[in-house]
Amino acid sequence: MRAVEHEGKRYLLLTKSGDSSRVRDPETGDQRYVPTEELTMLDADPLETAASAVPGPVRRLVRAAHDDQMLGLVLELRAEPRPACELMDAYSLCESDALGLVTELRAAGLVEETTVAGERGYQLTETGEQAVETLLG
């Protein structure tokens, strides 16, 4: 399977023949035939092309939230921004664990530093909010 482009849109090439080729839209799953000569073969990984059906913010969250603890933290920060010290107290996290979780989420662009009740804290970024909203529907 290969990633291809037709009229500015990426598809997955399913079958190729001289005149027409069958392609699948990774977003909808719809299949159709297009003239082979109109296809541009791409260097893109076909699995990455298939993954493009998932909105970017959700892909970020899926990659970053590698366990339930991480996903739970994202959902808690969605409910309300939290002071850093509360992350340790409320969730029985040691300082290094709390910092590790937050650092990974910040690196993914899902969490940002903020001020909560005069203290350093964390909240979801717009990307983080979009990811959770899409997941929870």
Q: pLDDT digit string (tens) for 76-120?
A: 999 999 999 998 889 888 889 999 999 999 999 999 999 999 999
For position 56, what pLDDT does the model report?
93
Sheet of strand 119-124: strand arrangement:
82-83, 119-124, 111-116
Q: What DSSP line would sit under 72-96, residue for residue?
A: HHHHHHHH--EEHHHHHHHTT--HH
**What CATH number is given to the structural domain containing 87?**
1.10.10.10
Q: Are residues 33 and 66 located together in one domain of the fold?
A: no
- Interval 50-59 mean pLDDT: 93
pLDDT over threshold 90, residue 18:
no
Percent of the chain with pLDDT over 90: 85
Q: Are residues 96 and 38 located together in one domain of the fold?
A: no
Q: Which helix (H) or strand (E) holds 114?
A: strand 111-116
Q: Are residues 63 and 38 located together in one domain of the fold?
A: no
What's the rounded Cα separation, in Å, for the pair 104 and 95?
14
Q: Are residues 92 and 45 located together in one domain of the fold?
A: no
Task: Dig out the tokens for 134 from the structure.
Answer: 């899409």
pLDDT over threshold 90, residue 41:
yes
For position 15, what pLDDT does the model report?
95
pLDDT over threshold 90, residue 137:
no
| Model confidence pTM above 0.85 | no
Domain assignment of residue 12, given as a range: 2-53
- Interval 23-42 mean pLDDT: 95
Contacts of 98 (CB under 8 A, 6+ apart): 84, 87, 88, 91
Q: Are residues 77 and 129 located together in one domain of the fold?
A: yes
- Interval 62-85 mean pLDDT: 94
CA dihedral 24, 30, 32, 38 (to 10 degrees): -50
For position 42, what pLDDT does the model report?
95
pLDDT over threshold 90, residue 13:
yes
**What CATH number is given to the structural domain containing 22?**
2.30.30
* Strand partners of residue 15: 22
